[in-house]
């Protein structure tokens, strides 16, 4: 049954800052009116009923929006997977309703934008044979929500949650993202620094792995990785970069929000000086899951036979590690 205008879910949805098209999608979803194969079959329309993402047969809304590996990957990237799956219900409409009406810890607009993105990706795969990655779906949803929040004069109810989200999704448009990570190997008595640079549209631009013999301090390995990242930016002549790492100690010290750990202060002094001379848009912390590529380069560096390795295309071990993250 279509959701009536008096329904509390609609009232709640109405308050969300979302494009009309996304709201329409949400209305169809909770009214069970999306043209999924099972719905089409109920209307005697024959249709290839397999999932374009995983090839499973007879897919339902529940499959597309929470059971399919595509949905799981999408939610995992956002860090919301745990919270969202805890609210799982016997069917998709009830699950959606529960999240919209009961949940206070998920940014509701963002959640709806994500589902709409999954639906768009599914349709693109079915009708246009176009592949949209879960990462693109997440980035697009975060942009939709942020754009609307920033153009709105009226403070949206979920803006505080959205700000928390900004620590994960910095403004990606027009910014090159630079990820760094450090790692140590006690058996090899060395540290590895990994740097991964991604274009504003999410393309792999550059990867670097550098080994530092005789460095066994984890903090120092992170500071060295950050310095490598900045050196690389200068070398590649990159402007307006967004530099991100998963070590909060190093990020805070480099942003001069806290004192440098003594083991790395000389390196961090270099970093601070370089930040002043480079058009670094922002230094920010990211979750380890989102730093997986730089992390893998750091791991590669500390066990490599050579001091420096660079990549201009993603090496296969990185693709594999990104896939593993979602198993
Ligand atoms: Zn599937």
The two structure tokens encoding residue 226: 């950050």
User: Does 1 reside within a domain?
Assistant: no
Q: How much distance in Å is there from the Cα of 52 to the middle of ligand 1?
A: 7
Q: How much distance in Å is there from the Cα of 3 to the middle of ligand 1?
A: 26
DSSP state of 312: S
Residues 233 and 257 in one domain: yes
Q: How much distance in Å is there from the Cα of 131 to the middle of ligand 1?
A: 14
Residues 188 and 56 in one domain: no
Residues 181 and 279 in one domain: yes
**pLDDT value of residue 327:** 38
Residue 171 near residue 146 (C-beta atoms within 8 A): yes
Residues 186 and 294 in one domain: yes
How many angstroms separate the CA atoms of 148 and 162, rounded?
11
Residues 25 and 93 in one domain: yes
Rounded to the nearest 10 degrees, how much is the dihedral formed by the CA atoms of 104, 107, 109, 113?
A: -130
Q: How much distance in Å is there from the Cα of 57 to the middle of ligand 1?
A: 8
**pLDDT value of residue 161:** 36
CATH number of the domain within which 226 lies: 3.30.420.10
**pLDDT value of residue 134:** 82
Domain final residue pick, 105, 137, 166? 166
Residues 191 and 150 in one domain: no
Per the structure, how many domains does the chain have? 2
Q: How much distance in Å is there from the Cα of 197 to the middle of ligand 1?
A: 31
pLDDT in tens, 82-110: 778 887 777 888 888 888 887 565 678 88
pTM: 0.51
> Could you list which residues have their CB under 5 Å from ion ligand 1?
51, 53-54, 56, 68
Q: How much distance in Å is there from the Cα of 96 to the middle of ligand 1?
A: 18
User: Does 86 reside within a domain?
Assistant: yes
**pLDDT value of residue 115:** 93
**pLDDT value of residue 12:** 82
Q: Which residues pair with 207 in a beta bridge?
A: 196, 311
Say which residue the tokens 């699950």 belong to.
95
Helices (H) and strands (E) in the chain, counts: 15, 6
Residues 115 and 184 in one domain: no
Residues 99 and 123 in one domain: yes
φ, ψ at 194 (rounded to 5°) = -125, 135
User: Does 144 reside within a domain?
Assistant: yes
The domain in which residue 316 lies consists of 176-325
**pLDDT value of residue 319:** 64
Residues 209 and 284 in one domain: yes
Residues 161 and 222 in one domain: no
> Which parts of the chain have pLDDT scores under 70?
1-5, 36-48, 103-106, 149-174, 201-202, 279-281, 319-327
DSSP state of 263: G
**pLDDT value of residue 118:** 94
User: Does 2 reside within a domain?
Assistant: no
Q: How much distance in Å is there from the Cα of 116 to the middle of ligand 1?
A: 16
Q: How much distance in Å is there from the Cα of 51 to the middle of ligand 1?
A: 5
pLDDT in tens, 158-184: 333 333 333 333 335 567 889 999 999
Q: How much distance in Å is there from the Cα of 1 to the middle of ligand 1?
A: 25
**pLDDT value of residue 152:** 52
**pLDDT value of residue 167:** 31
**209, 211, 219, 207: which is closest to 267 by C-alpha?**
219
């Amino acid at each position: 049954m279509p959701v009536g205008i008096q329904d509390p879910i609609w009232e709640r949805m109405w308050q969300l800052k979302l494009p009309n098209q996304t709201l329409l999608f949400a209305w169809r979803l909770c009214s069970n009116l999306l043209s999924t194969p099972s719905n089409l079959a109920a209307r005697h329309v024959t249709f290839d009923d397999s999932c374009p993402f995983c090839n499973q047969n007879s897919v339902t809304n529940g499959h597309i929006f929470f059971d399919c590996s595509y949905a799981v990957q999408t939610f995992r990237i956002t860090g919301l997977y745990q919270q969202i799956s805890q609210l799982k219900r016997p069917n998709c409409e009830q699950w959606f309703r529960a999240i919209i009406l009961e949940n206070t810890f998920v940014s509701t607009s963002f959640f709806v934008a994500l589902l709409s993105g999954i639906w768009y990706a599914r349709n693109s795969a079915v009708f246009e044979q176009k592949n949209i990655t879960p990462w693109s779906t997440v980035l697009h949803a975060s942009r939709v929500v942020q754009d609307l929040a920033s153009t709105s004069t009226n403070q949206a109810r979920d803006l505080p949650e959205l700000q928390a989200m900004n620590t994960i999704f910095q403004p990606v448009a027009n910014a090159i993202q630079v990820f760094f990570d450090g790692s140590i190997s006690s058996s090899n008595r060395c540290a590895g620094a990994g740097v991964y640079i991604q274009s504003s549209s999410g393309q792999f631009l550059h990867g670097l792995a550098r080994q530092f013999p005789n460095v066994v301090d984890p903090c120092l390995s992170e500071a060295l990785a950050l310095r490598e990242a900045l050196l690389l930016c200068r070398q590649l002549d990159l402007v307006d970069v967004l530099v991100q790492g998963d070590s909060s100690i190093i990020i805070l010290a480099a942003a001069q929000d806290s004192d440098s750990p003594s083991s790395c202060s000389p390196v961090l002094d270099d970093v601070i000086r370089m930040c002043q001379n480079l058009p670094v848009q922002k230094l920010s912390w990211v979750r380890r899951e989102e730093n997986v590529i730089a992390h893998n380069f750091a791991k590669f560096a500390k066990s490599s036979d050579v001091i420096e390795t660079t990549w201009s295309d993603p090496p296969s071990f990185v693709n594999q590690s990104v896939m593993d993250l979602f198993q």
